[in-house]
Each structure stands twice: as C-alpha cells, then as structure tokens.
Structure 1
C-alpha cells in the first residue's frame, strides 16, 4: 500500500515503536536547571521570561487603564475587548509570513511609542484609539511569544521553559494594577510606566535567535548551537528528498 508520497506504509507501526524505544533510552533526563547551565539557552530563557512579563504587564495594565479613561466606561470596555478578536485575525498572516523576532521587536517598540503618546495627548477618543492600538499590539505579542518560545527551546526542556515564562507573565499581571493606579499622580504617569518596559523588551529581543522555518529541536546541544550561530536549521525540499531516498 502506498500514499501520495510513494512510500510504503506496511511497517510504519514498527518504525514508530523503534524510534520511540531508541529515543526513550538514548535521551538523557533533563530538568528545569538545564535551562540555566549553558550560556545561550540561559540568555534566551531570561530574555524570553522578561518579554512575557512585560507583555502581560502591559496588556492587563493598559486594559485596566483604558477602561477608566474619560467617556462611557461600557464603550471603553467593549473597545478593549474587540481588539483581542482583531489581534487573533491579524496574527494568522503574521505567523505564516513574518519572522518571529521581527514581529516581537517591532510590536514592542510600536507599543511603547503609542503608550508614550497616550500619556501626553488630551484624554478623549484620540487617546482611547491609541490606547486600543497599544493593547492590540500587546495581544499580538502574546500570541507570537507562545509560538516563539515553543520553537526556541528543545523538547527535553520545552515544558519547563513555557512554564517559567507563563509564571513570569502572571507576575506581570499582578504588578499591572499598581502601575495603572498611578493615574492620580498625573495623567502621564501610568502610560509612561507601561511604555518604558516594552521598549526595553524590544531591544533585548534583538539578541534572540530567529526560529521561523526551523525544525523543532530535541536536545540541549541543538538549542545551544542555534543560539551560538543565530542561523536556524531550515526545512527545505532537499531535506525531504534526502530522507525519502534514505527510506527507500
């Protein structure tokens, strides 16, 4: 029996079980500490954790801040909620055609710029629109960071990396209301407090490797090599041709 790729299918089960057996015994056990033992992976997890913290901090903080701007509070809440749906739609082509690092860096810097504008323009519809744009960018960053983090760390520590980043995002969400509460000290205080950190996160993310069109890594050594060379192993048609030839 053959499928469209002209490869036999009779012994698929045997090959899958053999592959699982080999990797179950050949792959050493890893722990969360392996994320901090090698220099490049340690750099990546620290920057990624900070990026998650900043994204959550800005998203929840700006949502709270915008809902209390002048105007109808119900319209403000509807506006902030609508950007999440728009962000999901925008992320589909971004993830498919754009580099992960480019999206995260540019969105962080643009978000920071918008938040600074919110702090120094008269409150009204204009500040609401600009605030919604910054929240939209935060939401897009959140979605892309999930994928970016998954592709950046190898299988043996991937769950631990996502767990650490998610924990840092919860920390950012807890800090956000305190910054949003700075509004009584000046209308510019809260937006500036939110705007500084995306700028810093965007600059730091320039140090991360690009992972678009890469194979998911399995070992610490592969992830460390990716961080050292900043040149991902691309999936190409030649790779599949070679693999097909070896299979035959």
Structure 2
C-alpha cells in the first residue's frame, strides 16, 4: 500500500502513483469543461447581442404636431441625441434609426441603448458581473464546505435553464434579473468550481496544461451532465478523510474566508492576488468593451494590431492567474480563494462599463485608469512566490508557510546561484577527471 506520513507532500506521490492524467481524469476533465463552457459565451455576449450600431435621430409625427405645425418645416437634427424645433428650442430625441449593415437586430436596437439611455447597456453588463461577484463569495465558500460536485451539478443545471431564459426575456428589467442570476451560477458556480475540480484531480505536471485548456474552452458548447463519481484526493485529504484513502489522519475541515487574512504571509498573498485579479479583469474587459468604439466593421477591427496584442497579453495573464491561484492557496480554502479572486475580478468587470462612460469627458480617461491599475498590479506581482513543480499546500499552516520569503527577485537570484553551482560542480568534475587520467597514465 501507499503510506502517507505527511498529507502535505505525500499526496503528490499518491497522485503520481494513481496516474496524473489517465482515462478517468481525461473523462472527468471533459465533463468539467462541457459543464462550464457556456459561461464564456455569456460573459461577453452583449458585444453582439446588445451591440449598438450607428444611430440617427428621428423626429416623430407626434413631435411635429407638438412643437410645430404638423409638418417638418423648421426642424433640424443637431446630432444623434438632439434636434431643434421651429421655436429654436433644443430637445432630446426619443426615436432613432440604426445602421443595420452589420446588425439587423439587437437588444440595443430594441431598447435604444443610446444617448440618455446609454447607461442601460452598461448596467446590463454590470448586472452579470455583480452576479458573478455574489456567486464567487457564496458558492465558493459553499463548495469548500459542502463539496465541489454538488455545487457544480446544481450550477450546471441552473445555467442551462437561465441561459435559455435570457434569450426569451422581452422586457429590460427582467433581462437584468436573469443576467444577474446567470452570473451567479454560470461563471461562479459551474466555471470556477469545475476549474478547481480539474486542478485537484490531475497530477502536478499536468495542472498547467489542463488549466489552460480549460480556459481555451471558454466558448459556446452544448452542456452534458457528468454521471461518474469522482475521487477527489486533494479534497478528501483536506477535509479530514485521509483515513478513507490511507487509513490514517484527522484534519479539521472547518474553515472560512476570514482564515485567509489571519496570518501575515497568507494575508499578503491574498491581498496581492486579489489586486491582480482586479487588474486583469478591468483591463481585459476594458479592451473588449472598447472594441466597439473602433471605426469600421466591428467584426474585422478586432484584428487591429495594438488591440490584438494587448488582448493577447492580458488574456495570457488572465489564464495564468487561475492556475496560479489554485496552486498558491491550501486545499481547505482553495475554492474560497479562487472565488474571492474572481469576486475582485467581477467587481472590476462591473465597474468597467461605468468607467467606459467617462470617455464623455475625455477619451483618454478610461485608458489611463486601466493602464495605471495594470502597472500597479504588475509591480506587486513580483513579490508573489513561484509555484511551478511545488506540491500544493493542504492545511492553513501549509498555506502560511508556502513561498514565505520567495519573490520574483529571490527566484531569479536562486536560479543564478543554482546555475553557478552547477557550473562549479562541472568544473570540479573536469579537474577530477584530469587528475584521474594523470594517475592512470603514471600507472
């Protein structure tokens, strides 16, 4: 049998012994992906479903009668939001015609997300992000307490129902409610919990690849229900059920999100990671939502060099932070930590559409805000520890001690020292070989 003297380190050996990515793990991995795929579609669906084409003010017959003599004489359209009546009074438009070259219909056309009602589009996106915010806090903690699978299954069914409902809602405020609920169960419930299940199920050498593949699947797909029962080794060990695997061990499984802030090292890592989640999200969605402001065909302009490069960089960072967070925090609070990080990301995601509205004052303001936050978070990320090829921490004590004193600077210095040490050892070996050859020749 496999002896487990230390839950912290021996679990990696258990995973290696059982297989890091066999047929069972591959099957479970595919089920997790399929159950979480639709979250990616709904995250940015408003870019097309609620796209706002070029609008032009239309004066209604009622306005002709109310402000004029029933004809169009004396009326002049100033811009898409205002017109001047025959008495030279500037009035707000209440009807618009839209350029339907690229969009024949959309929620924005149906509900007029323009001019004084521009906030409606921003609020629709923010409602989804606030839903993910709420779900990340509530469902993340529930997954750590009651189990990943039950939260994953319930969320998968809920997002299926809500995903169909959101397409059929004819009224704006009901649309907001369904979007909010989908955010709770779609991204927070199915996506994050499915991601944590995947990271805990596969071996250490496969986590990065599986984590990135999980996020590559952030697109539309059919949902299918997973029926096989999982053996989550990491979860069993951390919740005091090591004896069910090896016949020994007793670990307290009662923890809350506040435990992440009780010890200095874990607190510093938590706050640092939260800021990086916030920055990743605000820049990612800021670039995505700003794409519609580019001139030309919106389906082609996304390929513009600078936008594509920026989105590629921030998308890579966003992909890594999921893996990194899962590897950095202990199993007893891993789902909670990932949920809190996602909560910070969705808070900034909810604020992003509002920040975009600041371009009414100065077009440079949104980009300046996004850039400053990204630079600050990037600098502080240098003080986070390296997790590659390290065993995942299990208990709170493991989480506090993990990476203590390790930063980007110390990692680089240590790599240099290791390289110099290896070069020194190679040189010593060559000297020994030469001396051995001389002794052999004398003989």
- TM superposition score category, shorter chain reference: 0.5 to 0.7
Unaligned 5+ runs, structure 1? 1-6, 8-15, 80-127, 233-248
The residue that corresponds to 1:221 in the other structure is 397
Structure 1 distance, partners of 2:291, 2:380, is 27
* Greater relative contact order (CA < 8 Å, ≥ 6 in sequence): 1
Mapped partners of 1:212, 1:192: distance in 2:
33
Match of 1:135, SS?
A: helix
Unaligned runs of 5+ in 2: 1-16, 18-241, 412-443
Task: From 22, 32, 43, give the equivalent of 2:248.
Answer: 22
Once residues 229 and 71 of structure 1 are traced to their aligned partners in structure 2, the CA distance between those partners, rounded to angstroms, is: 51
Shift of 1:59: 0.7
Distance in 2 (CA, whole Å) between partners of 1:36 and 1:155 is 16
Structure 1, residues 39-66: CA drift from partner, whole Å, max 9, x if none? 0101111111111111111111111112
2:425 matched residue in structure 1: none
Among 351, 359, 362, the alignment partner of 1:183 is 359
- Residue of structure 1 aligned with 2:277, choices 49, 52, 59: 52
2:301 paired residue number = 76
For these two proteins, the number of residue pairs brought into alignment is: 168
Matched residue SS, 1:57: helix
| 2:323 corresponds to 1:147 | yes
Distance 1:18 1:187 in 2: 60
Shift of 1:198: 0.6
User: Measured at CA, do residues 20 and 55 of structure 1 come closer, stay the same or move farther in structure 2, by a change above 3 Å?
Assistant: farther
Match of 1:131 in 2: 307
Residues 155 and 218, structure 1, Cα contact 8 Å, conserved in 2: yes
Question: Structure 1 CA distance, aligned partners of 2:260 and 2:365?
Answer: 36
Pairing 1:37–2:262 present: yes
Name the larger-Rg structure: 2
Deviations 1:204-226 (A, max 9, x none): 11111111110111111122112
The structure with more helix, counted as a fraction of residues: 1
Mapped contact 1:182–1:189 kept (Cα < 8 A)? yes
Secondary structure at 2:343's aligned position in 1? Answer: helix
Task: Give the deviation of 1:73 after TM superposition.
Answer: 2.1
* Match runs of 1:182-201 below 5 Å: 182-201=358-377
Distance 1:52 1:172, change over 3 A: same
